[in-house]
Amino acid sequence: MGKTKDKSGPLARRPDNSAFKQQRLPAWSPVLTANTVLPFFYLLAVISMLLGVWLLLLVQSTQEIKLDYTDLGNCNECFDLRRNVSNAAQTCSCRVEFSIDKTFKGDVFFYYGLKNFHQNLRRYMDSRDDGQTVGWIKKLKNPSTYCEPFAKDEDGVPIAPCGAVANSMFNDSFTLTYHSSSGRRVPVPLLRKGLTWYTDKNVKFRNPRTDNLTLAQVFEGTRQPLYWQRPVYSLDPHDPNNNGFINEDLIVWMREAAFPNFKKLYGILNRADANFEKGLPRGNYSIDISYNFPVQHFLPIAYLVTSSLILLMAVVLTVAWWKFGKDGKNMKE
Amino acid sequence: MFLRDHFLLSCCFSPGEVICEPPNNKLDKFTGTLHWRDNKYSLDNEKMLLRGCVLRNTEWCFGMVIFAGLQTKLMQNCGRTKFKRTSIDKLMNTLVLWIFAFLICMGVVLAIGNTIWETCVGRKFELFLPWDEFQSSAVFSGFLTFWSYIIILNTVVPISLYVSVEVLRLSHSFFINWDQKMYHNQSDTPAEARTTTLNEELGQVEFIFSDKTGTLTQNIMAFSKCSINGQTYGDVYDEFNQKVEITEKTECVDFSFNPLCDKAFKFYDCSLVEAVKQQESAAQDFFRLLALCHTVMPEEKSEGNLVYQAQSPDEGALVTAARNFGFIFRARTPETITLCERGRAATYDLLAILDFNNVRKRMSVIVRNPQGQIKLYCKGADTIIFDRLDPSSEDLMYATSEHLSEFAGEGLRTLALAYKDLSKEYYQVWQKKLHYVSTVIENREEQLAALYEEIEQGMKLLGATAIEDKLQEGVQETIACLNLADIKIWVLTGDKLETAMSIGYSCNMLRDDMDEVFVISGLTQLEVQQQLRNAKENILGLRRLSSTADVQKGDVFAEDSVFEETIISEYALVINGHSLAHALEPQLEHTLLDLACLCKTVICCRVTPMQKAQVVELVRRHKMAVTLAVGDGANDVSMIKTAHIGVGISGQEGMQAVLASDYSFAQFRYLQRLLLVHGRWSYFRMCNFLAYFFYKNFAFTLVHFWYGFFCGFSAQTVYDQWFITLFNIVYTSLPVLAMGLFDQDVNDQNSLRYPSLYKPGQQNLLFNKRQFFLCTLQGMVTSFLLFFIPYGAFSVMLKDDGSDFSDQQAFAVTIATTLVIVVSVQIGLDTHYWTAVNHLFMWGSLIVYFAILFAMQSDGLFGIFPSNFPFIGTARNCLSEKSVWLVILLTTVVCILPGLVVSFLRIDLFPTLTDKIRHLQQSRKKQRPQEQNLRRVRRTSSRRSAYAFSHQQGYGELITSGKNMRVSTLSSSRSLERIAQSSSWIENILKRKNEVSAEPAESHKADRLK
């Protein structure tokens, strides 16, 4: 219907004989039969099994050591000190010693982790200004109201970077030292760059245009977040290119974790150093933590369990089909 | 409404006054008085012409309009228009309310969770995230959280469902409009869905209420067979002496030798023409009788253009048959009948008409033929005629009797014909008696009857005719098919009991092998009650006798419905309008309904339009079943409006029924396709659509609920805002819409071939509260898996380059992608009929999802609106990771497989009829589907005489008096006489008039609205 036709004559109102209008469109109408379903199940079971085994091997080739330093060594002193926010300005250091039994071969990643820290609260996650961290000058001095109450300090000076996320940035620093068998203390070189996604480092986070000014000058008129010890433009004293909004620690922190227990990348073993060419050798280590603030087998096991369940279902289906439906007697009218 | 006035008021319309009752819907009553020229005339129902009547045998009448428009009895009978909604619609509303309640429950749970969390954990976190100033306590925070969650979780309430459902219904209506198989070539009428909101209800119909005339029948009588002198004519045989089925293509007899023949008349047996041509006296007498013995009025507007005005279509058919076989009835005067016998004009003197009435069941004429012989020609019901035959006709009687049984077996209406030679003397004696009796005042009727009886004795049998009350095409097959689909068909008609029953027989609704046909025709309430109870006891009694010996009578009726399903024997109920009025009283309606539901066939005759509606309403109210009313005339409007679904047959009866209907088409047989194909598909599609829609929304939304337990119940959404906005509209709407539009579990041919496929709809099996519960449960489980599998994986997942990967955005993208894939796979499994459009929508949706995903998270958009598109780069980083794809694969498999297992097991172990036929359809795919070939069923049936059915009391008297003939055809002397007699014939005419108009008035056919 719809359009009026110019047809006239005895069959003027006859509907068109098109496959669409007569609901005769050519179509594929699949039916679940044993011939299709059972092989599919077995195939799926095998695929899952293979994936599971492969993942398991992959996981077992990785090694992990996890240290909860809250109470280790002399860190509990710092922990007590930091309970009171007013002591934020004081420095506190502690040392944790540990040993690894087998050499960590290949790439070694160094993470910090937090437990029960809710980066995923709605108000927390909203409390940031992507406009500011992408380097818009206007936003730098005039952060979004989403950042409240961390947009401006009591004096009305805008905070950069603003918001609760940045404010609560994890700023413990770690120095890993290798105690070689000869008793020599070798500092373990950690790469503090290359920790972020390319898009984050190059698109999402940009420093404001400097135009021959130093970074410090650009950030003039703003102040550091209240809980920070250093302003944003001097977060990394060693690498001037790692300062401002593109500081990798900041970027890593700003990518909010989905769950309250999370870990974030701190550094990557620099294998350019001759001692650590093959990874992290076995032996004793100590971490010096400037105290400012947990690998698992889920996926392979999940795959293996799923695979066995599918196999089980496939067998049950086969039996059911064999016993009751094979000769199609149920299909008789 | 007209007051027909026979006082030839002609030109003198001076003012008068009518005082009458207010408008009402009683068709059989009218009271009023007319004051005119100082005279008072009483006005009663006999003087009324109701709207819808057709004047016959007269060109004009004087009248006065008393009520018009809405005040006419017809419109008063129409009933109120109700807003029609489908049961799915009502269920949907209930379910949406439930979902809303569920939403509030979730909100409350999460709000309580938030209060507890804020108290135990949130307080410590205040260091990093101080409470807002207005947030005074954890309880207040919980309160705010409640509202936040109501907003976030509102997608669980499917608002877009209503729009989608309407779109589907509209398209289904278009499919009905477009269906060529419901298009009637002859009248150029396509089917039309006039309401677009009732389509899926067509798949759930349990009761059909059908009008008779114009709906089941064409209201055309056709002379189809006859038996002359022990020889049958009418069947066609091929060269092997095998009977040939008569179809459209069968060659019919060429009547071109007869210039005055009726072109529309069709007869297939050439041997009868030969018989007439060969001067066989029996055959000639046979047709001469048909041409003489009737009360038809001829009208010859131009030479050779004869039009017969017959009181009943039966008579017309017989006279037309005689006309085509060369005995043309051309003209009549009160005293003569002029025939054109095979080219030669012959004038018979009409001596007497011994008219028809319901007791006599026959009519005779006494004529003097051109040779001067006096003959009596009689036609009537076979039993009556056979009782009055001359012993010499006995052999012939047996032969004819056999033929009659044969005719009756084919559902034809039969009539026996006989003649008698009268001697002049005998006739003169008889005539004197007649003259005497007709002047008697007391017991005139009885005395006349006795006199007629006297002369109609010792007749010689000529033969018998068989008339077909032409059913609409395919009515028997349609009714048989709908019966197989467990649809009960009730016929509600304004016609007489006998006519209704005869149609019942010819439609196979009544059969001789039925255990019993109950006829309820009580006049008082007690009588009706007694008859109903007896009938019911009759049905239930036998079994009860064996099971429980003495149960209290009261209990007997209370338990009746329990036994309803177990009745195997077939019963039929025929009830007339008068009894129906009593039976529809509140105290009897349950008995009536119970009895009617025990019977396989129910026929209500002589019912008013209002009663039709009442019957429909009765079933609608007490049986919780979907009712469909089908009719073609204005008298069906009320029932069409009352039933859940009204279907109008657009025929010759005008547009009123069609205008009030929800669906309209040209032929009753299309009902089969409307219900079994379109209705079934609509219901099937709608149910699958709804189930999937609820599933999808639950799977989509409940993820937020699970996430609430990990994000401190802070109303943080799992997905990106844009995803939430677009999910229902863009990513998942089209595949399910395509399914709702095109899905077919079984193709149309098989739907018609296996009417039992219709039953799940009646039992409401495809979508009900249980199905709703199951599909929401599936949705919940899916959302659970959708959240917890990625959760398990993400808490430990790393990228290959070592960077952590447990951030909220990557999590959101992974879950969103998984969700889109899972629901797409699910719709794939739910789709039974993959057309190109399904493929396009399905793959298109997935492609669009990924396209939009990458576009939304592109550098460019972020550069322009950094705050609105914070997900920059997430998709790129996330979906390039193989572990993410492993998570997606695992989740999809785990979400889909259980459903697949269940449906495979169900199909394999407990296949429904649908599954079986799908299976069959698959295996037969290569073979060309054969057209269904339902043969016309032959059955044995008691014979029924046509004469007893369609005839009212004849108007022979009117003809012999000549009052209905135009002055010009009468001699001047007679017209003088006529004026002298005027006062008495007016009364007669008044009396007759009402009977003449009674039929159309009661069935309110043709409305003259133009």
**ipTM for this prediction:** 0.91
At residue B838, the pLDDT reads 94
Q: Which residues of B touch A10 (CB under 8 A)?
A: 185, 188
Taking only Cα atoms into account, the Rg of chain B, rounded to an integer number of angstroms, comes to: 38
Residue of A nearest to B801 (CA): A195
A102-111, B397-406, B666-675, range with greatest mean pLDDT: B666-675
Decide if A260 touches B, using CB distance below 8 A: yes
| Chain B residue whose CA is closest to A82 | B127
Report pLDDT for A66. Answer: 80
Comparing CB atoms, the residue among A28, A256, A299 nearest residue B793 is: A299
pLDDT at B68 over 90: no
Quick check: B738 pLDDT over 60?
yes
Nearest residue on chain A to B831, judged by CA atoms? A29
- A287 pLDDT exceeds 80? no
Interchain pair B175, A198: CB under 8 A: no
Average pLDDT, chain B: 81
Nearest CA in chain A to B838: A27
Residue B942: count other Cβ atoms within 10 Å of its Cβ.
9
Per the CB < 8 A criterion, the answer to whether A173 and A296 are in contact is: no
CB contact under 8 A, A333 and B916: yes
What CA–CA distance (Å, rounded) separates B825 from B888?
Answer: 12
Interface test mutation site (partner B, options A23, A42, A140, max chain B beta carbons within 10 A): A23
Contacts of B34 (CB under 8 A, 6+ apart): B3, B16, B17, B18, B40, B41, B42, B43
Helix axes B882-909, A298-320, angle to 10 degrees: 20
- Mean pLDDT across B479-508: 86
In chain B, the percentage of residues whose pLDDT exceeds 90 is: 27
Q: Is the pLDDT of residue A285 over 50?
A: yes
Chain A partners within 8 Å of B185 (Cβ): 10-11, 14
Catalytic residue list of B:
211
Residue A207, chain B, CB below 8 Å: the answer is no
Contact residues on chain A for B125, CB-CB shorter than 8 A: 117-118, 121
Q: Which of A32, A169, A333 has the highest number of chain B CBs within 10 A, making it the mutation to test binding with B? A: A32
Closest residue in chain B to residue A126, using alpha carbons only: B716
Residue B820 has pLDDT above 50, yes or no: yes
Has residue B728 got a pLDDT over 70? yes
Average pLDDT over residues B514-536: 86
Q: Which of B210-214, B241-245, B448-452, B818-822 has the highest mean pLDDT?
A: B818-822
Judged by CB atoms closer than 8 Å, whether chains meet at A27 and B863 is answered as: no
Which member of B178, B876, B889 has the closest CB to residue A22? B178
Mean pLDDT, range B832-851, rounded to an integer: 94
Strand A262-269 versus strand B48-49 pairing type: unpaired
Highest mean pLDDT among A64-78, A125-139, B166-180, B491-505 belongs to: B166-180
Average pLDDT over residues B581-609: 88
Model confidence at B192: pLDDT above 60: yes
- Do the Cβ atoms of B807 and A257 come within 8 Å? yes
CA distances from A299 to A50, A66, A257, B376, B430 (A): 13, 20, 19, 105, 113
- Average the pLDDT over B881-897 and give the result: 91
pLDDT band at residue B57 under the 50/70/90 scheme? low
Cα-based distances in Å from B806 to A203, A213, A257, A289, B810: 20, 37, 6, 24, 7
Is B624 within 8 Å of chain A by CB?
no
The closest of B489, B576, B488 to B532, measured between CA atoms, is B576
Six token digits for residue B538: 């009759």
- Average pLDDT of the segment spanning B867-872: 87
pLDDT tens digits, one per residue of A120-179: 888 888 888 888 888 888 888 888 888 888 888 888 888 888 888 988 888 788 888 888
Chain A contact present for B894, CB below 8 A: yes
What pLDDT was estimated at residue B798? 65
pLDDT tens digits for B130-159? 777 677 788 888 999 999 999 999 999 888
B906 in reach of chain A (CB within 8 A)? no
**Domains of chain A by residue range:** 51-291
Q: Can you tell me the distance from the alpha carbon of B732 to that of B828, in angstroms, rounded to the nearest whole number? A: 12
Which positions 134-193 of B are in contact with A (Cβ < 8 Å)? Answer: 148, 174-175, 177-181, 183, 185, 188-190
Min mean pLDDT across B405-419, B620-634, B701-715, B862-876 is at B405-419
d(CA B158, CA A18): 34
Nearest alpha carbon to residue B80 among B660, B608, B664:
B660
Q: Tell me which residue of B301, B338, B333 sits closest to B323, measured CA to CA.
A: B338
Average pLDDT (B515-525) is 85
Is pLDDT above 50 for B8? no
- Find the range with the poorest average confidence among B326-340, B548-562, B796-810: B548-562
Q: Render pLDDT for B668-706 as a digit per residue (tens, 0 to 9).
A: 999 999 999 999 999 999 999 999 999 999 999 999 999
pTM tops 0.90: no
A183 to chain B, closest Cα gap in Å: 31
Strands B601-605 and B488-492: parallel
Helix (H) or strand (E) holding B748: helix B748-753
Closest Cα in chain A to B185: A11
Is the pLDDT at B851 greater than 50? The verdict is yes
Tell me: pLDDT of B971 over 70.
no
A333 CB neighbours in chain B (<8 A) are 913, 916, 920
Higher pLDDT, B522 or B602: B602
Nearest to A313 among B715, B802, B901 (CB): B901
Would you say residue A294 has pLDDT above 60?
no
Cβ of A168 under 8 Å from any chain B Cβ? yes
Q: With an 8 Å Cβ cutoff, is B541 touching chain A?
A: no
pLDDT for B310: 79
Q: Does B911 touch chain A (CB under 8 A)?
A: yes
Mean pLDDT within B769-776: 94
Q: What is the pLDDT of residue B549?
A: 42
Residue in chain B closest to A165 (alpha carbons) equals: B128
Average pLDDT over residues B802-817: 85
* Interface list for B 735-774 with A (CB within 8 A): 742, 744, 748
Residue B899 contacts A where some CB pair is shorter than 8 Å: no
Whether A61 has its CB under 8 Å from any CB of chain B: the answer is no
Closest CA to B782 of B895, B877, B689, B653: B895
Please compute the mean of the pLDDT values over residues B89-107 and round it to a whole number: 93
pLDDT value of position B626: 92
Of the candidates B793, B866, B905, the beta carbon closest to that of A320 is on B905
Q: Categorize the per-residue pLDDT at B554 as very low, low, confident or very high, splitting at 50, 70 and 90.
A: very low
Residue B953: the pLDDT is 57
Does the beta-carbon distance from A14 to B900 stay under 8 Å? no
Environment class of B126 (CB within 10 Å of its CB; exposed 0-12, middle 13-18, buried 19+): exposed
Model pLDDT, residue B693: 93
pLDDT tops 60 at residue B966: no
Asked if A135 and A203 count as a contact pair (C-beta separation under 8 A), the reply is: no
Of residues B387 and B895, which shows the higher confidence score? B895
In terms of Cβ atoms closer than 10 Å to its own Cβ (0-12, 13-18, 19+), residue B259 is exposed
* A331 neighbourhood in chain B, CB within 8 Å: 911, 915-916, 919-920
- Indicate yes or no: CB of B901 within 8 angstroms of CB of A85: no
Using CA atoms, how far apart are residues B847 and B476, in angstroms rounded to an integer? 52
A317 at the B interface (CB within 8 A)? yes
The pLDDT of residue B297 is 84
The answer to whether B912 contacts chain A (CB < 8 Å) is no
In chain A, which among 261-280 make CB contacts under 8 A with chain B?
A: 261-265, 268
- In the predicted model, is pLDDT for residue B283 greater than 60? yes
Q: What is the pLDDT of residues A66-105, one digit of tens each?
A: 888 777 777 777 777 776 666 666 777 888 888 887 787 7
Token output for B380 = 């009537």
Q: How far is the alpha carbon of B570 from chain A, nearest alpha carbon, in Å?
A: 25
Is pLDDT at B992 greater than 60 in this prediction? no
* Model confidence pLDDT, tens digit, residues A180-194: 777 788 888 888 888
In angstroms and rounded to an integer, the radius of gyration of the C-alpha atoms of chain A is 31
| Interatomic CA distance for residues B453 and B445, integer angstroms | 12
> What pLDDT is recorded for position B930?
46
B916: nearest CB among A10, A268, A331: A331
Residue A239 touches chain B, beta carbons under 8 Å: no
Mean pLDDT calculated for residue range A245-262:
88
Closest CA in chain B for residue A83: B127
What pLDDT shows up at residue B698?
Answer: 94
Which among A29, A164, A197 is the nearest to B833, CB-wise? A29
How far apart CA B823 and CA B683 sit, in angstroms, is 22
Is A328 within 8 Å of chain B by CB?
Answer: yes
- Looking at the complex, does the CB of residue B795 fall below 8 Å from at least one CB of chain A? yes
- The arithmetic mean of pLDDT across residues B314-325, rounded, is 86
pLDDT (tens digit per residue) in B34-51:
888 888 888 877 778 887
Dist. CA B99–CA B695, nearest whole Å? 12
Please determine, for residue A61, whether its predicted confidence score (pLDDT) is greater than 50. yes
Instruction: Using DSSP bridges, classify how beta strands A190-191 and B192-193 pair: parallel, antiparallel or unpaired.
Output: unpaired
Does residue B773 register a pLDDT over 90? yes
The pLDDT score that the predictor gives to residue B94 is: 93
B446 interface with A at CB cutoff 8 Å: no
Across the interface, whether the CB atoms of A121 and B793 are under 8 A apart is answered: no
Averaged over B956-970, what is the pLDDT? 58
Q: Residue B598: what pLDDT?
A: 86
Of A11, A204, A331, the CB nearest to B188: A11
pLDDT level of residue B562 (50, 70, 90 thresholds): very low
**Contact across the interface for B867 and A129, Cβ inside 8 Å:** yes
Q: What span, in angstroms and rounded, lies between the C-alpha atoms of B566 and B543?
A: 10
Q: A89 at the B interface (CB within 8 A)?
A: no
